[in-house]
């Protein structure tokens, strides 16, 4: 725990926060080493030029003296050297104020600190695996509300990725050193100053000089000016990253940013393989469109999470007929022109079937989940061409669905790549699929075949049609299971429930009491206190608090225990000795248990029990 750092906003591993020292320093923070820096290194014990505790202002954070080691120092050496400096560090124990500890990649035990410094970080440029493993090692073994500093590593090119990785503090050391080596930095590349004909920048420094002017200067003078430019670009990158964290689209930004260098692209891909690290802090809803513009988009948390929950939590309503449909550019699908035509073609027989929409990058979207984030909130570049990775991913999602949901008749009203996907899934599982489109899925002929095929099956087999009211109930049950886990559908939308309000502003009532309402913007079910009571037996998405009655916000120190599956933006149930509450999580379940600061839940309603 620390009282010197607070996280105010999270987006996957990236965070906005503040260092609470003599004044508040917003993070991500770029340090400029010097006497005004809020963070001071007490010194290297190798050189024995260390500060004494009374030389450091108590309002500053001090990185305790240590013996910096090379990147590949072996764990036993790291331990031996760390043990040898313990005595020196004892002098610092009585000092009031915040402390930082340098952590070697191989360091097995991480001592307490308010901020952790990645040892030998400079040597991790171009070593994405080592950087990622070290950051995850430190994060997994330290409280979530401590800050992480990567010294002498940030450049305008890599800063957004470092922030996305979860680093809170960097410095301007590298842009400054490189400037004196004649390196001119831009957000997407580094140039030798001698290779430039013009300065491709209009910052304060570059507006007032030229390549010719710089060449005529002394090396010292030139280095100072280029350092000014390099640091300007670093500061600008930080501002852009902060804006993207606030806007909820840092992921889209880093998918573009990483293209400038193979090691940054490798870093992003390796991070995606560490799904748990990114997933635990990724919100379940964003207010902005999710753009899937690159091949890495297939691996982003939102895509994997949606597919995972469709497979493991969602339960399809009972039906004998499955209708597979292509996605539409307009969302939710059912308001698009093509889906309106499909609906008209299936008519009342629609009530005898389940509909599943095939799409990239989400895989498959059951009709009941079409409003759920990100099914109604994504956009992709449409060219008509699907690459092999996309085809294989979407086919896999369809195969998984067809393995767990059995139908007597599968109809696919699709063409092009969608048809290839259906055929491939059918071959894999040995299933028969009836294709109803000849060419365009919206042609009169195709729609006519769709209509006659479905009405023929319903008539010949004598399949019953669902009640109209059951269609809405099925949708809400599907969302409840997707959101809270299997079993939630029966509890929050029982068979005896009635659904009020027109699509999609549904409200669920039972015994004249409202249990939940559907937020059409997010596709989220918002339980009332009565709904929360009914969900209690499921045991999921619950937060246990101390014996007190919280107000509008539940702060992390008040949390005793929480479901580890809770993610930021999730609807949660707060349970105390005297109270039951409902609200929206502001941080993950594990983080709210381990944090000593910050708002854990925005409470909507609280009742004393």
Q: Which residues bind Zn ion (CB under 5 A)?
A: 201, 203, 206, 229
Q: State the nearest-atom distance from the C-beta of 197 to Zn ion, in Å.
A: 15
Q: State the nearest-atom distance from the C-beta of 170 to Zn ion, in Å.
A: 19
Residue 347, sorted as left (phi over 0), alpha (psi -120 to 50) or beta, turns out to be: left
Q: Which is nearer to Zn ion, 201 or 371 (CB)?
A: 201
Q: State the nearest-atom distance from the C-beta of 202 to Zn ion, in Å.
A: 7
> For residues 399 and 392, what is the distance between their CA atoms, to the nearest angstrom?
10
Q: State the nearest-atom distance from the C-beta of 203 to Zn ion, in Å.
A: 3
Burial class from Cβ neighbours inside 10 Å (0-12, 13-18, 19+) for residue 391 reads middle
- Answer for the pair 325, 319: CB distance below 8 angstroms, yes or no: no
Q: Which is nearer to Zn ion, 215 or 343 (CB)?
A: 215
Q: Which is nearer to Zn ion, 169 or 201 (CB)?
A: 201
C-beta neighbour count of 41 within 10 angstroms? 20
Q: Which is nearer to Zn ion, 196 or 203 (CB)?
A: 203
| DSSP, residue by residue, 316-374 | PPP-SEEEEEE--SSSSGGGSHHHHHHHHHHGGGGGGEEEEEEETTTEEEEGGGTTSTT
Q: Which is nearer to Zn ion, 173 or 203 (CB)?
A: 203
Q: State the nearest-atom distance from the C-beta of 235 to Zn ion, in Å.
A: 11
Q: Which is nearer to Zn ion, 201 or 303 (CB)?
A: 201
Q: Which is nearer to Zn ion, 201 or 556 (CB)?
A: 201
Q: State the nearest-atom distance from the C-beta of 231 to Zn ion, in Å.
A: 10
**How many helices and strands, by DSSP H and E, does the chain display?**
19, 29
Q: State the nearest-atom distance from the C-beta of 210 to Zn ion, in Å.
A: 12
151 to each of 125, 296, 458, how far by Cα in Å?
11, 28, 68
> For residues 84 and 603, what is the distance between their CA atoms, to the nearest angstrom?
50
| DSSP, residue by residue, 392-459 | HHHHHHHHHHHHHS--SEEEE---HHHHHHHHHHHHHHT---EE--SSSTTSHHHHHHHHHHHHHHHH
φ/ψ of 158, rounded to 5, equals -100, -5
Q: Which is nearer to Zn ion, 229 or 584 (CB)?
A: 229
Q: Which is nearer to Zn ion, 209 or 320 (CB)?
A: 209
> For residues 551 and 160, what is the distance between their CA atoms, to the nearest angstrom?
37
- Answer for the pair 584, 602: CB distance below 8 angstroms, yes or no: yes
> For residues 605 and 193, what is the distance between their CA atoms, to the nearest angstrom?
61
Name which of 279, 175, 179, 275 is nearest 225 in CA terms: 179
Q: State the nearest-atom distance from the C-beta of 30 to Zn ion, in Å.
A: 16
Q: State the nearest-atom distance from the C-beta of 216 to Zn ion, in Å.
A: 18
Q: State the nearest-atom distance from the C-beta of 201 to Zn ion, in Å.
A: 3
Q: State the nearest-atom distance from the C-beta of 27 to Zn ion, in Å.
A: 25
> For residues 397 and 401, what is the distance between their CA atoms, to the nearest angstrom?
6
Q: State the nearest-atom distance from the C-beta of 182 to Zn ion, in Å.
A: 15
Supply 356's token pair: 């599943």
DSSP β-bridge partners for residue 189: 186
3-state secondary structure of 230: helix
| DSSP, residue by residue, 238-268 | HHHHHHHHHHT-HHHHHHHHGGG-HHHHHHH
Q: Which is nearer to Zn ion, 106 or 231 (CB)?
A: 231
Q: Which is nearer to Zn ion, 187 or 588 (CB)?
A: 187
- Answer for the pair 209, 199: CB distance below 8 angstroms, yes or no: yes
Q: Which is nearer to Zn ion, 229 or 567 (CB)?
A: 229
């Amino acid at each position: 725990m620390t009282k010197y750092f607070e996280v105010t906003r999270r987006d996957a591993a990236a965070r906005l926060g503040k260092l609470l020292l003599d004044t508040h320093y917003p993070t991500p923070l770029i340090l400029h080493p010097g006497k005004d820096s809020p963070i001071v290194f007490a010194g290297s014990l190798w050189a024995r030029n260390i500060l004494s505790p009374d030389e450091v202002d108590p309002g500053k954070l001090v990185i305790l003296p240590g013996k910096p080691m090379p990147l590949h120092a072996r764990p036993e050496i790291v331990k031996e050297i760390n043990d040898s400096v313990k005595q020196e560090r004892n002098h610092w124990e009585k000092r009031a104020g915040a402390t930082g500890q340098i952590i070697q990649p191989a360091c097995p035990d991480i001592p307490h600190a308010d901020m952790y410094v990645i040892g030998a970080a400079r040597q991790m440029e171009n070593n994405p695996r080592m950087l990622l493993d070290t950051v995850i090692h430190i994060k997994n073994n330290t409280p979530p509300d401590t800050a992480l500093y990567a010294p002498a590593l940030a450049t305008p090119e890599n800063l957004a990725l470092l922030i996305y990785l979860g680093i809170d503090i960097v410095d301007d050391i590298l842009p400054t050193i490189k400037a004196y080596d004649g390196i001119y930095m831009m957000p997407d590349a580094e140039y030798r100053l001698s290779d430039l004909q013009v300065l491709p920048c209009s910052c304060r420094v570059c507006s007032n000089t030229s390549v010719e002017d710089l060449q005529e200067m002394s090396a010292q003078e030139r280095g100072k000016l280029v350092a000014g430019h390099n640091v300007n670009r670093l500061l600008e990158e930080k501002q852009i990253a902060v804006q993207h964290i606030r806007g909820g689209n840092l992921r889209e930004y880093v998918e573009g940013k990483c293209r400038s260098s193979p090691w940054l692209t490798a870093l992003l891909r390796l991070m995606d393989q560490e799904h748990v690290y990114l997933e635990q802090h990724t919100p379940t809803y964003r207010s902005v469109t999710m753009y899937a513009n690159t091949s890495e988009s297939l691996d982003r948390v939102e895509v994997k999470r949606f597919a995972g929950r469709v497979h493991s939590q969602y339960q399809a309503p009972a039906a004998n007929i499955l209708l597979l449909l292509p996605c539409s550019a307009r969302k939710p699908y059912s308001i698009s022109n093509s889906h309106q035509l499909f609906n008209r073609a299936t008519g009342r027989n629609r009530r005898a079937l389940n509909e599943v929409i095939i799409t990239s990058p989400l895989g498959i979207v059951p009709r009941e989940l079409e409003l759920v984030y990100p099914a109604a909130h994504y956009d992709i570049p449409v060219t008509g061409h699907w690459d092999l990775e996309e085809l294989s991913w979407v086919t896999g999602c369809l195969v998984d669905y067809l393995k767990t949901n059995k139908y007597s008749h599968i109809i696919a009203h699709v063409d092009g790549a969608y048809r290839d996907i259906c055929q491939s899934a059918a071959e894999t599982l040995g299933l028969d699929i009836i294709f109803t489109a000849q060419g365009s899925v919206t042609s009169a002929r195709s729609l006519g075949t769709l209509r006659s095929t479905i009405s023929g099956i319903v008539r010949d087999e004598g399949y019953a049609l669902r009640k109209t009211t059951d269609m809405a109930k099925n949708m809400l049950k599907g969302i409840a299971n997707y959101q809270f886990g299997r079993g939630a559908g029966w509890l929050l939308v029982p068979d005896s429930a009635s659904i009020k309000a027109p699509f999609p502003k549904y409200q669920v009532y039972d015994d004249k009491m409202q249990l939940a309402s559907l937020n059409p913007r997010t596709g989220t079910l918002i339980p009332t206190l009565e709904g929360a009571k009914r969900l209690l037996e499921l045991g999921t998405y619950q937060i246990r608090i101390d014996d007190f009655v919280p107000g509008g916000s539940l702060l992390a120190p008040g949390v005793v225990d929480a479901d580890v599956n809770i993610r930021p933006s999730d609807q949660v149930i707060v349970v105390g000795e005297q109270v039951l509450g409902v609200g929206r999580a502001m941080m993950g379940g594990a983080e709210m248990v381990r944090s000593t600061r910050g708002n854990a839940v925005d409470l909507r309603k609280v009742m004393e029990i």
